[in-house]
Amino acid sequence: MSIIVQKYGGTSVADADRIRAVADRIVRYRENGHDVVVVVSAMGDTTDDLLMLAQEISPVPEPRELDMLLTAGERIAMSLLAIAVNARGCRAASYTGSQAGIITDTRHGQAKIVEIRPKRIRESLEAGNVVIVAGFQGLSTNYDITTLGRGGSDTTAVAMAAALGAEVCEIYTDVDGVFTADPRVVRTARRIDRISYEEMLELAAAGAKVLQSRSVEYARRTGVRVHVRSSFTDEPGTWVVGEEQDVEVGMEAALISGVALDDTEAKVTLEQVPDRPGVAATIFKAVAAEAVNVDMIVQNVSHQGTTDLSFTIPRDEVPRVESVLERIVKEIGAPRYTVDEQIAKVSLVGAGMKSHPGVAADMFEALSEQGINIEMISTSAIRISCVVRAGDAERAVRAIHTRFGLDGEAPRAEG
């Protein structure tokens, strides 16, 4: 029998009514003859609430204990959903990540899946159960409970789909699919029917949180077909598939697939850094030793033997990097560093830009027409990103979206 993996996000299981609606959908799939494995997120804002509670108690909670706490959110959702499915006369059993055989490395809060041992899940399916797995969590190679980073239930779902050879991995969320921009920021954004793994990966990494970027990486590596759709309707959503599959159906890649916004980073600037070989290596080795992920890097031209060097990092890693920076500026002989948290990154993504010159120029012009200053620029083969003031970011996204002809009709206001 074909296996379908379905993942339901926090809004989709936010209260008892929503959980009952999800149970109805699961039972329908089961009645249509599918084996169903469900991956579930914590209800509503549970994860944020638990994080705040921990921070109220200690500003820097022990990562191991924080993971133990946060995984409780998914555990509540999975058991309530199993109760709801059982109440419909359809057998269901829920499993924690650890019980489901999800083995991760030991990096608390950001663990990577290293292996899936789906024996228990297969046996439960064979026994006729709908299997419900807690998202976002696993068991480390040291036998500790870990979490997979914010949005990690998407990755649990794709990894389970890959391990079980599922026909499809359906990601049910609170929007109708992947749009040309966050529909909450750009009301005229359009839903995309199909998008390649590469483009989706760039969009996700650039801040389109509809899918965790690791889940897209995992899907690309294992060839899992992902269908992102709304848990509130039965409409088809967005298929995330390989480029070859697009070619098969005769689709041509769009010039631009979308615009993304990331407001989770901060910019660090080291001022008047001595301009000599080895300085950049010293700085970034020290930052990497703290396991802080550096995104963009910009070094200015040298004046009188010194230069300013800026880079961006996740804002919540600023406290961790600051102690390193204190030490580094002394070591390399720079007078000071500054941290700017009022930045945002706006990115334009599209496979077609590889063969179309002038895309970057058009993007910069769209920003300049709005009087928006660009502070940093970085590119990949299919992405251009600009750092701007946080307060300008949403206006920047809308201007770029319009400039590249992505606007559709605005949905009519409800009510």
Using the rule CB under 6 A, which residue among 118, 152, 177, 183 binds ligand ASP? 152
Angle between helices 63-87 and 16-31 (to 10 degrees): 60
150-169 mask for Mg ion (x: CB under 5 A)? Answer: -x------------------
Q: Which of 148, 140, 13 is nearest to 85 (CA)?
A: 13
Number of residues forming the site for Mg ion (CB under 5 A): 2
Closer residue to ligand ADP (CB): 235 or 326: 235
Cα separation, 159 vs 291, in Å, equals 24
Q: What are phi and psi of 177, to 5 degrees?
A: 150, -155
Q: Show Cβ contacts of residue 317 under 8 Å, excluding neighbours closer than 6 positions.
A: 290, 292, 293
Q: How far is the CB of 9 from ligand ADP (least distance, A)?
A: 2
136 touching ligand ASP, by CB under 6 A: yes
138 touching Mg ion, by CB under 5 A: no
51-90 mask for ligand ASP (x: CB under 6 A)? Answer: ----------------------x-----------------
Contacts to ligand ADP from residues 19-48, by CB under 6 A: 41
Q: What are phi and psi of 210, to 5 degrees?
A: -60, -30
Q: How far is the CB of 390 from ligand ASP (least distance, A)?
A: 22
Closer residue to Mg ion (CB): 183 or 350: 183
Q: Which of 159, 161, 151, 228 is nearest to 194 (CA)?
A: 228
SS3 of 255, please?
Answer: coil
User: Between vectors from CA 344 to CA 341 and to CA 349, what angle results, nearest 5°?
Assistant: 155
Q: How far is the CB of 136 from ligand ASP (least distance, A)?
A: 4
Q: How far is the CB of 20 from Mg ion (least distance, A)?
A: 21
Using the rule CB under 6 A, which residue among 3, 4, 5, 10 binds ligand ADP? 10
Using the rule CB under 6 A, which residue among 35, 67, 170, 182 binds ligand ADP? 182
Identity of the residue numbered 44:
G
228 touching ligand ASP, by CB under 6 A: no
Cα separation, 271 vs 274, in Å, equals 9
Identity of the residue numbered 200:
M
β-strand partners of 262:
345
Q: How far is the CB of 328 from ligand ASP (least distance, A)?
A: 32
Cα separation, 85 vs 167, in Å, equals 22
- Per DSSP, which regions of 41-156 are E strands? 92-95, 102-104, 113-116, 130-134, 137-140, 145-147
Q: Both tokens of residue 172? A: 């049910």
Residue 47 interacts with which of ligand ADP, Mg ion, ligand ASP, none, CB < 5 to 8 Å by class: ligand ASP
Long-range contacts (CB closer than 8 Å, 24 or more residues apart) made by 373-378: 375/267, 375/343, 376/267, 376/296, 376/298, 376/310, 376/312, 377/298, 378/295, 378/296
Q: Both tokens of residue 171? A: 């990601």
205 touching ligand ADP, by CB under 6 A: no
174 touching ligand ADP, by CB under 6 A: yes
Number of residues forming the site for ligand ASP (CB under 6 A): 13
181 touching ligand ADP, by CB under 6 A: yes
Using the rule CB under 6 A, which residue among 77, 208, 287, 343 binds ligand ADP? 208
Closer residue to Mg ion (CB): 206 or 270: 206
Q: Both tokens of residue 266? A: 């901060």
Q: How far is the CB of 208 from ligand ASP (least distance, A)?
A: 14
Q: Which stretch binds ligand ADP (CB under 6 A): 6-14, 64-72, 286-294, 354-362?
A: 6-14
Closer residue to ligand ASP (CB): 47 or 196: 47
Q: Which of 318, 199, 202 is nearest to 268 (CA)?
A: 318
Using the rule CB under 6 A, which residue among 107, 112, 150, 209 binds ligand ASP? 150
Residue 73 interacts with which of ligand ASP, Mg ion, ligand ADP, none, CB < 5 to 8 Å by class: ligand ASP
Q: Which stretch binds ligand ASP (CB under 6 A): 97-105, 147-155, 180-188, 305-313?
A: 147-155
The residues that touch ligand ADP, with contacts defined as CB under 6 A, are: 9-12, 41, 151, 173-175, 178-179, 181-184, 208-210, 258
